[in-house]
Amino acid sequence: MTRSRWISVPLSLAMVVGLSIAGGQPAEAATPKLGAVFNDQDRAAISKRIAAMIKATPRGATIRIAQYRIDSTDPRVLPALRGAVSRGVKVKIVLDKSDRNPHPFADNGLNDLRTQIGKRVGGNGTDTAKASYIALCTDGCIGDRYNHNKFYLFSTMGSKKKVVVQSTANVASDNLDAWNAAFSVAGRSKLYQGYTAYFNDLVRRKTNLNYYRTVTDGPYKAYFFPRKSSTGDQDDPTTDTIWRTLNDQVKCTGNTTVGTQTNHRTIIRIAVWGFTREKVAQKLRALANQDCWIDVAINAPGEVSAEVRQALANHPRINVDNATANGRWMHAKYLLVEGNYAGRPNSKVAFVGSHNFTLNALRHNDETWLKIDSASVHDQFRANFRTIMAASPDFPF
């Protein structure tokens, strides 16, 4: 019976099946899911998603990665990258090399990838003129402190083209211990080209503290840093992207269906590792005075300044939770607006990226921040935020 079934398969179908397996792309490389992913339930969810995307990248395609850190404490991404190099994917990586991470190639897994790239394309694996490479930026690439980026670009990934992945996570063990998020989208040519141009500028490694630029593609807008102050004052709010977003775009009233249950006031939710920009915290308090509601999940003192904690303390419409609790800590960097945004009541907008609310992130680091104007995506982030808040006690002001 089994033999007769095989005999009855049309020859053309058998040839298609054979070609799909033998065509250079692994049989397991179905197109991974796009959109938002969080490590709240499965702590390895983001790492698994990235590794699956790498495995779904076919021979001849290009993967570009800008990351603060990649090391073997993440057991999935480096092996997936080695597999990609082996099957002829062009892998281009730019990494930070700084006081916090002075010897990236001391990690055996990363060094093995560098060696493998060198054997495949020639050289020692760091030559940016080659088809594949790992480039290191000392004290930033365009900025002068850190290449803190966490994004991935795939020219082809499974059945998708021009895939952009913006993450908050390093490729390291803090993927598992910390709260993190990532978002991916395909087929947005202008967005993909904007990220690719920024990646190429990172690889050139020419300092330009006045680099700041943006690209808009439908519901998406990417912001690329560093951004120079227009006045010479590092705290100048008029050239602070987060402050300008809150000041220029957010209104507390006018909603009829979203926001708070009573009176539909706008709600701002923030999950962030580092928060030291006092003017941003003061703007949040000013919005609370105008009847917005503010929820913030931050780490214990160290990454959050005393001035910020003071600005957020003791207000009836500001709630701050300590995310350094129950074996987890905050590493995500996102901002959610549910309410009146850009003159549109009842909006839902999410921002996510590598960008902390610190002066380094604004003025000195290589960073990316992505706006996603989508109610469904906002609601996925909101669900993650509620999970974090449920696991985090009130901040002990």
Place of tokens 């063990």: 173
Distance CA 380, CA 260 (A): 18
Using one digit for the tens of pLDDT, what is the confidence trace for 13-65? 333 333 333 344 443 468 999 999 999 999 999 999 999 999 999 999 999 99
Please check whether residue 205 is in contact with residue 135, taking contact to mean a CB–CB distance below 8 angstroms.
yes
- SS3 track for 128-169: CCCCCEEEEEECCCCCCCCECCEEEEEEEECCEEEEEEEECC
- CATH code: domain 213-391 is 3.30.870.10
CA-nearest of 30, 35, 34 to 57 is 30
Residue 174: pLDDT band with limits 50, 70, 90: confident
The structural domains of the chain, with segments of one domain joined by +, span: 29-204, 213-391
The C-alpha torsion from 186 through 187 and 190 to 191, rounded to 10°, is: -10
- HSE-CB at 293 with a 13 A cutoff on CA atoms is 12
- Checking if the pLDDT of 2 tops 50, the result is no
Q: What's the whole-model pTM score?
A: 0.92
Using one digit for the tens of pLDDT, what is the confidence trace for 138-172? 999 999 999 999 999 999 999 999 999 999 999 99
- Assess whether the region 29-204 and the region 213-391 belong to the same CATH fold: yes
- CATH code: domain 29-204 is 3.30.870.10
Using one digit for the tens of pLDDT, what is the confidence trace for 322-351? 999 888 999 999 999 999 999 999 999 999
Query: Which residue(s) pair with 297 in the sheet?
Result: 271, 321
Q: Which two tokens stand for residue 98?
A: 């700084």
Distance CA 254, CA 247 (A): 16
Widest CA span of the chain, in angstroms? Answer: 81
Distance CA 304, CA 323 (A): 12
Please check whether residue 380 is in contact with residue 36, taking contact to mean a CB–CB distance below 8 angstroms.
yes
Residue 19's pLDDT is: 33
Please check whether residue 134 is in contact with residue 95, taking contact to mean a CB–CB distance below 8 angstroms.
yes
Distance CA 369, CA 353 (A): 4
Residue 26's pLDDT is: 46
Place of tokens 């006092």: 278
Q: Which residue type, as a one-letter code, is found at position 385?
A: F
Contacts of 216 (CB under 8 A, 6+ apart): 190
Place of tokens 């003017």: 279
Q: What is the pLDDT averaged over residues 294-302?
A: 91
Concatenating the DSSP letter of every residue in 272-332 gives ES-B--HHHHHHHHHHHHTT-EEEEEEPSTTSB-HHHHHHHSS-TTEEEEE-SBTTBEE--
